[in-house]
Structure 1
Amino acid sequence: MTINPTDVEARPSLRGKGLASDSIGLLSMVSLGLASVAPAYSITVTLGLVVLSVGHLAPAALLIGFVPILCTAYAFRELNRVMPDCGTNFVWITRSFGPWLGWIFGNWIPQIATVIAMTALAQVGAINLLSLLGLSGLAGQTLPVTCLGAALIALVTAVGYRGVQLSAAVQTAMVALQLTALIGFGVAAIARHGASAPSPAWLNPFGFHGSGPFAESVLLCLFIYWGWDAALTVNEESRDRTHAPGRAAVISTLVLLSTYLFTAVAALSFAGTGARGLGLGNPHNAADVLATLAPAALGGPLAKVVQLAVTLSAVAALLTCIVSTARPNVSVAVHGALPKTFARVHPRFHTPTVATVFTGVLSVALLAGLSYAAPSFLSDAVLSIGLLVCAYYGATAFACVWHFRSQLRTSTRALVFQGVLPFAGGLMMLAAFARSAVDMIQPGYGSTSIDGVGGVFLLGVGSIVLGLLVTTVIRLRFPDFFRHGRRTVTDILVTED
């Protein structure tokens, strides 16, 4: 591609794979990381389930569930510092463990988890938007929800196609509204007449009785933190790409922890853990805590703002999923493990073209297919995401330890941040994976089962097994990568012809 020198001065510089470098700063990357988690949506659909498992110890579960996330975030930070490639997990795991594990754990599993999440987010965004517009009757019908969900995916695909700067600006605005709404709800709930004073006992990590409820609650909490690593997929478009993306990942997790803890403590103070009325122990409130508590804590008009925040939370996460899924596909193609067409970058917007559109189309197809084939199948697919997240987060954490193994004795910093913390994070993710698999294999877990085996387990493990089959086919199509993958996974400078 020929570049006019005057264009270089007017636009972000081109580097690496044709993406626009020096386009976004630390704040924008933090916003991308937060938006991908969908904090308003995640806390409203998860807090009630955690309370049903462990009661007033829900904040403690949020705190404990954060530990493996923080350890893993340091692994991402350290790997990005030496390998700032938009392929992230794919590049890092391939460098450490070879092309087979790199393709499965670094590319296939994250991609499948993200696309499944996109179908759920589109559905949630559509339902909440219809309810917000006073069309609750349509919100309960499959066709309107699916059509509006597809339209939302198309919208965020168009925004993602137009450029990372536009995506980051939109994300920052939506994340700001989410955090403002959650903080406003929390302040109003704690200050409400009759609210109980927060207790330090709610944060006691040693207060759990029984491993079952403890493990279940921590697994739920792992899910609501997932997504912060999206900040690293734009590393080649960031300023100071070796340090800023890693900082953004760690900052994102810390912001999530503080926001979730404050919201959970406020909700407990206001509603308690009772099984009736507004109580968080009421099963009827578990699916959407904020929708139940916000009107009572804030009043009708301000409760609408919270509902809008939940809606935008789903839409913002959709946008980040488009951005964070397309860029790794570019890297995989550049390194010879996907057709070169996936490496195409728009000459004006400097964004992935084929990879972005492919992600949007695939998400719409999956949304339509699952919605009409079996709505309960979609809910089980969402539950299986936790298994996939533990798999690729854990693999990345172990990849960090292996990659830096020869440097661990050089300094205390290296030992702690490149060895001890990532290894601990990997072990905890492995334990969470094993516990998840044991729970999910039960026929009563989720909405479906086949021959006495839980549908959630079949979807989660089945996705990984399918990944093995797909990788076998990919190996036949791209044998050079599977022979020389560790050597070819480098920071290749490529631009679109």
Structure 2
Amino acid sequence: MEGHAAGQKGLKSGAIGYASNVVIGVASTAPAYSLAATLGFIVAVPGVGLAAPAVLLVSFVPMLLIAFAYAYMNRADPDCGTSFAWVTRGLGPHMGWVTGWAIIAADIIVMASLAQVAGIYTFLLFGWHSAASTTWAVTLVGLVWIAVMTWICVIGIELNAATQRWLLTAEIATLALFAIVALIKVAVTNVPTAPGISLSWLNPFAISSWRAMVDGILLGIFIYWGWDSGVAVNEESENAHTGPGKAAVVSTLLLVMIYVVVSFAAQAYGGEHTLTHNSDDVLSVLGHDVFGSPLDKLLIIAVLSSASASTQTTILPTARTSLSMARWGALPRSFGRVSPRYMTPTISTIAMGAISAVWYLAVNELSNNVLGDSVTAIGFMIAWYYGFTGLACVFYYRRTWAGSLRNFFVAGVMPMLGFIALTVVFVYAYIDYGTKGYAQGYNYTKPFHGIEIPVLIGIGGLIAGGVLMLFTLRPYRSFFSRRPYFEAATATALQDPPVQTAVVTEEEALVPE
């Protein structure tokens, strides 16, 4: 094995360009799948209703702030471990390990909802509605999708990027056509379900309460989640220091436009009742009414391709995070192996696919609503690792703030605001989803021995990571002996191109035993 530094892991350098970084970032977020799986749940949040587009606008703000943190951390250290490596540098090895765990756990958990949607929409594509309502049939097809996408991730990053370009182009074109046709029909015909069109849907102050806004934002965070996958392939990208980071910012900007327009059109046509009562297949129901048969298959294909593409691009960052953790000496060395033939982390990729399949089977036994409970649970983990990436950026760039007002703002103030916003969302969401969440209509499954399911999966998963870390302290002593809070980027990290990006002196040295 080679070292843990960027460019030393055996991945294929310069394999993909800037456009592919943007494509992977947007495709990993899976706009069609995210809307199909989440929009109905946002509308159903007590106090939100048809103000869902406003929630998506507000949810975009912390995502943009954290995207800048990703861009600046990537300038200094284009490590495929992203948040794990950066939080380790900025906040120390213990926080870094738990952050890496949060990325892996969130990606594995979301595979359940991705596979569920892929399974359902596979049957809907062929009009087999009885099979789409049969748990074992949907589960079987979902497992097949996980296996196929794991195989594609193993055999090469170029095939990944090429597949994503085709799938994403078709997906966005279909969503744009849906939004246009839906709004035209609402404007010129009598649609019984249409509540009319109101610009108040874009006004965050129209939401009934601050708490309703925060609960909606937790789901909004999930719907935006995934743009960081374009950064996770930084070591395989051209202009590794700058390209992936810029792609992260551009990805969030593209996503907010897609989400606001499509959600606005969907509820303008379907209304609140249709969206909340078909929360697990919003777009298939609306697609049938908006397009009619057989064109309604276009939207089903868009959601199916979106879910399958996101399955693929979710495995990518998970495998690269575990690869990086292994190379840093924080996980078993086997996870750090890279295939000399495919130049991909084969052991990590196959392991993540297999673990995701096992989790998918388990969560079907635990939850009555795989989509609803998984989306909420993952929101806690996303808020955790996105937030601490922002905080790590603040610490890591502290020596550059005095260089200019711009440095102080983009490398200090913006990431800190992102961290604060996500911390507030995490705390308030725990109060609502974790205390009598099922009784108050927030959760979809009865508590498990008194613990609400989203909290059991989301926060319980984070606690499990902390406990697991305790067992790794001794075998991975070298990694955990790094001194926290002392490493920092130099001002040259903000030059173009970045040079001498980190202080590599005593501050980065290991603590003597």
TM-score by length of 2: 0.87
What corresponds to 1:326 in structure 2?
319
Greater mean deviation of Cα atoms: 40-49 or 71-80:
40-49
* Mapped partners of 2:166, 2:371: distance in 1: 30
Secondary structure of 1:408's counterpart equals: helix
Per-residue displacement from partner, 1:130-173 (whole Å, max 9, x unpaired)? 22123322222232222221111110111001100100110111
What letter is aligned with 1:291? Answer: S
* 1:357–1:254 CA distance, 2 compared to 1 (3 A): same
What letter is aligned with 2:19? Answer: L
* Mapped partners of 1:286, 1:344: distance in 2: 41
* Mapped partners of 2:111, 2:376: distance in 1: 13
Does 1:350 find its partner at 2:343?
yes
Q: Decide which of 381, 392, 397 is 2:385's aligned counterpart.
A: 392
Contact kept, 8 Å, 1:404 with 1:419, in 2: the verdict is yes
Structure 2 residues not aligned, in runs of 5+: 489-500, 505-513
Per-residue displacement from partner, 1:96-120 (whole Å, max 9, x unpaired)? 1111110002x10111010010122
Does 1:84 find its partner at 2:82?
no
Pairing 1:211-290 to 2, within 5 Å after superposition? 211-273=210-272, 275=273, 279-280=274-275, 283-290=276-283
* Mapped partners of 2:259, 2:53: distance in 1: 8
* 1:372–1:458 CA distance, 2 compared to 1 (3 A): closer
What corresponds to 1:404 in structure 2?
397
* Mapped partners of 1:240, 1:48: distance in 2: 39
Pairing 1:94-109 to 2, within 5 Å after superposition? 94-105=88-99, 107-109=100-102
* Mapped partners of 1:28, 1:424: distance in 2: 29
Structure 1 residues not aligned, in runs of 5+: 3-13, 493-497
Secondary structure of 1:301's counterpart equals: coil
What corresponds to 2:481 in structure 1?
483
* Mapped partners of 1:24, 1:84: distance in 2: 14
* 1:198–1:423 CA distance, 2 compared to 1 (3 A): same
Q: Decide which of 18, 25, 33 is 2:10's aligned counterpart.
A: 18
Per-residue displacement from partner, 1:158-211 (whole Å, max 9, x unpaired)? 100110010011011111111111101001111112378754332223222222
Contact kept, 8 Å, 1:229 with 1:249, in 2: the verdict is yes
* Mapped partners of 2:23, 2:377: distance in 1: 26
What corresponds to 2:492 in structure 1?
none
Pairing 1:89-488 to 2, within 5 Å after superposition? 89-105=83-99, 107-192=100-185, 193-194=188-189, 198-273=197-272, 275=273, 279-280=274-275, 283-372=276-365, 375-376=368-369, 380-443=373-436, 444=438, 445-484=443-482
* Mapped partners of 2:381, 2:346: distance in 1: 27
* Mapped partners of 2:128, 2:285: distance in 1: 18
Sequence identity percentage: 37
What letter is aligned with 1:150? Answer: L
TM-score by length of 1: 0.90
Deviation of 1:455 after TM superposition, in Å, equals: 2.3
Greater mean deviation of Cα atoms: 360-369 or 447-456:
447-456
* Mapped partners of 1:153, 1:271: distance in 2: 32
Contact kept, 8 Å, 1:59 with 1:203, in 2: the verdict is yes
Q: Decide which of 72, 75, 93 is 2:69's aligned counterpart.
A: 75
What corresponds to 1:5 in structure 2?
none
Greater mean deviation of Cα atoms: 306-315 or 365-374:
365-374
What corresponds to 1:66 in structure 2?
60
Per-residue displacement from partner, 1:273-304 (whole Å, max 9, x unpaired)? 4x4xxx54xx3233332122212221212210
* 1:368–1:185 CA distance, 2 compared to 1 (3 A): same
* 1:354–1:57 CA distance, 2 compared to 1 (3 A): same
* 1:291–1:244 CA distance, 2 compared to 1 (3 A): same
Greater mean deviation of Cα atoms: 402-411 or 63-72:
402-411
What letter is aligned with 2:269? Answer: F
Contact kept, 8 Å, 2:218 with 2:380, in 1: the verdict is no
* 1:203–1:488 CA distance, 2 compared to 1 (3 A): closer
Deviation of 1:395 after TM superposition, in Å, equals: 0.6
* Mapped partners of 1:298, 1:417: distance in 2: 44
* 1:346–1:77 CA distance, 2 compared to 1 (3 A): same
Q: Decide which of 1, 19, 22 is 1:30's aligned counterpart.
A: 22
- Matched positions, count: 474
What corresponds to 2:508 in structure 1?
none
* 1:488–1:325 CA distance, 2 compared to 1 (3 A): farther
Deviation of 1:433 after TM superposition, in Å, equals: 0.5
Deviation of 1:123 after TM superposition, in Å, equals: 1.7
